[in-house]
Amino acid sequence: MIVRTWRGRAAKDRPEDYSRHFNRTVLPQLRELEGFLGALLLRRETPDGLEFLAVTQWDSVAAIKRFAGEDYERAVVEPGAVAALESFDEKVRHYEVISSITA
């Protein structure tokens, strides 16, 4: 399994804008993709605002490329996300899952 991570930052006075976009737009699109296994959206408060960390799980790099294209380390950021965030990472990070446990 491959995990893809990406961060975006939002103003504290707009705490729900990005999570709403993620839940209403991003998740339904991801669910339709072959090789997509799951996602988490994490949020933390920072001195400068809110930081979101999107963590998606994929069965292979090939599946990620079908989603993101050949330059699969470039972030896929839709207009709705751009509107909801003050800044975001242009690049993503990928990690190979070595071990995992769920309760």
Specify the number of domains making up the chain.
1
Structural domain of residue 84, as residue ranges? 2-96
pLDDT band at 98 (very low <50, low <70, confident <90, very high): very high
pLDDT band at 102 (very low <50, low <70, confident <90, very high): confident
Averaged pLDDT of the chain: 96
Give me the CATH number covering residue 11: 3.30.70.100
Distance between CA atoms of residues 12 and 99, nearest Å: 35
In a domain, 101, yes or no: no
Q: Where are the alpha helices (DSSP H) in 1-103?
A: 17-21, 27-31, 61-68, 79-84
Q: How many helices (H) and strands (E) does the chain have?
A: 4, 5
In a domain, 87, yes or no: yes
Kindly report the number of other CB atoms within 10 A of residue 103's CB atom: 2
pLDDT score of 3 more than 90: yes
> Which residue type occupies 92?
V
Residue 15: the pLDDT is 86
pLDDT score of 22 more than 90: yes
pLDDT band at 57 (very low <50, low <70, confident <90, very high): very high
